Amino acid sequence: MQLRYAQMVILDFEILKLFPATVVSLGWPHISVATLRKTFN
């Protein structure tokens, strides 16, 4: 038995603060793909 999954998360980095109410951010995608296998002991 196994389970495969993928997930995507967007990491937001503040790169520039122009004024107290204005923030420029950079979104960077982070993708994870994995397989989990059940072992019988």
> pLDDT tens-digit profile of 1-41?
999 999 999 999 888 877 777 888 899 999 999 999 999 87
The whole-number pLDDT of residue 21 equals 77
The whole-number pLDDT of residue 32 equals 97
The whole-number pLDDT of residue 19 equals 76
The whole-number pLDDT of residue 8 equals 97
Tokens at 12, concatenated = 């937001």
Convert 14-28 to b/e letters by CB count within 10 Å (16 or more is b).
Answer: eeeeeeeeeeeeeee
The domain spans of the chain are 2-37
Cα–Cα distance measured from residue 25 to residue 17, given in angstroms and rounded to the nearest whole number = 9
C-beta separation of 37 from 2 below 8 A = yes
